[in-house]
Amino acid sequence: MAVVLSNVNTEAGLKKLDEYLLTRSYISGYLASKDDMAVYTALSCAPKSSYVNATRWYDHISALLRSSGVTAEGEGVKVESSASFVASTPEVADKKAAADEEDDDSDVDLFGEETEEDKKAAEERATAAKASTKKKECKLSTSLQKKGNWFLE
């Protein structure tokens, strides 16, 4: 579903954005996406506090950007935009669908067969477990001998 947000730097655009975000945390989906970045960069400044939902969303996206290490202001790139802003990336969805069709799932083991690497790792774990058990037995028998000698004295 393509979301059309008219100029988000005007009162009408901010109002529409605020109403749209009333029941959503992000512009599209359940995680921050390119759509959120597109709208975030289209805003010239933080929305007024009277637009509660838009302010909440803007602060959240700002925090995500800061936590990801994106803090520099940049050197100034001018992006010209039209009066109508469309927050949609259908070509990305098309590319994802094509990639999913090409995936042959050859890496999935449906029958649970062990590979040589799995067998080798299991042998190493078994060897390590035996070695640690032997060490514990030695310590235990030594401590019993000491206690036994003390008890006999």
What is the pTM for the complete model shown?
0.48
In a domain, 92, yes or no: no
How many Å apart are CA 54 and CA 72, to the nearest integer? Answer: 23
Q: Is 44 domain-assigned? A: yes
pLDDT at 135: 53
3-state secondary structure of 2: coil
So what's the pLDDT on residue 75?
Answer: 60
Give me the pLDDT at residue 129, please: 79
pLDDT of res. 1? 60
Domain boundary among the residues 37, 71, 105 is at: 71
Q: Which residues lie closer than 8 Å to 47 by C-beta, 6 or more apart?
A: 14, 17, 18, 54, 55, 58
- Distance of alpha carbon 109 from alpha carbon 80, whole angstroms: 50
**pLDDT score for 90:** 52
List per-block mean pLDDT (blocks of 10 residues) for the chain, which spans 153 residues.
82 92 90 89 91 94 84 59 51 57 61 76 83 57 54 50
| Tens digits of residue pLDDT in 71-93 | 656 565 555 655 545 554 555 55
Domain boundary among 51, 71, 91: 71
Residue 78: per-residue pLDDT: 59
What is the CATH classification number for the domain harbouring 39? 1.20.1050.10
Domain range enclosing 136? 122-153
Nearest to 36 by CA among 3, 83, 82: 3
The tally of domains found in the chain comes to 2
Establish if 97 belongs to a structural domain.
no
Identity at 10, one-letter amino acid code: T
φ and ψ of 21, to 5 deg: -85, 5
Per-residue pLDDT, 98: 59
| Predicted pLDDT at 127 | 84
Q: Where do we find the tokens 């010209």?
A: 80
Closest C-alpha to 36, from 20, 52, 12: 20
The answer to whether the CB of 6 falls within 8 A of the CB of 16 is yes
Is residue 31 within 8 A of residue 63, CB to CB? The reply is no
